[in-house]
C-alpha cells in the first residue's frame, strides 16, 4: 500500500509538471523555446503513462490481498507514504520487481 500512495503522489506531481510545461509552451517567446517546452511535455507525458502503468500493476497485485491484511498496518503505510518525502523509495516503487 505504501508504494501505491507513493506512486499516486508521483502521478500528481507529474500532472502538475505537465500542466506547467504546457502553459510555458503557450507563453514561449520564440519557436525554439516553444518546441523545447513541447518536447519536455511529451517526455513528461511518457513518464506519466509509465507511472499510471505501475499504479495499475500495484493495484491489481494488492486488490485480492486487501481482505487478508491488517487494516491498522495499511493505514500506517498510507500515512507514512503521504508524510515522507522519500525519493529513495520512489525508485523502488516505480520498478516493483517484487510483483
Contacts of 82 (CB under 8 A, 6+ apart): 5, 9
**Per-residue confidence band for 86, with pLDDT thresholds at 50, 70 and 90:** low
pLDDT at 1 over 60: yes
Residue among 88, 8, 21 nearest 51 (CA): 8
Domain chopping of the chain, boundaries: 2-94
pLDDT of residue 85: 58
Torsion of CA 93, 94, 95, 97, to 10 degrees: 30
pLDDT of residue 69: 80
Residue that wins the pLDDT comparison between 97 and 49:
49
pLDDT in tens, 19-67: 999 999 999 999 999 999 999 999 999 999 999 999 999 999 888 888 8
pLDDT at 99 over 80: no
Round the average pLDDT of the chain to a whole number and report it: 88
Put simply, whether the predicted model's pTM sits higher than 0.85 gets the answer no
pLDDT of residue 51: 96
Amino acid at each position: 500500500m505504501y508504494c501505491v500512495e507513493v506512486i499516486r503522489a508521483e502521478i500528481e506531481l507529474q500532472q502538475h509538471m505537465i500542466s506547467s510545461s504546457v502553459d510555458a509552451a503557450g507563453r514561449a517567446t520564440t519557436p525554439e523555446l516553444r518546441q523545447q517546452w513541447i518536447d519536455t511535455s511529451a517526455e513528461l507525458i511518457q513518464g506519466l503513462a509509465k507511472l499510471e502503468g505501475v499504479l495499475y500493476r500495484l493495484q491489481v497485485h494488492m486488490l485480492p490481498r486487501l481482505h487478508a491484511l491488517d487494516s491498522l498496518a495499511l493505514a500506517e503505510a498510507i500515512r507514512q507514504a503521504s508524510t515522507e518525502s522519500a525519493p529513495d523509495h520512489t525508485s523502488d516503487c516505480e520498478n516493483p520487481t517484487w510483483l
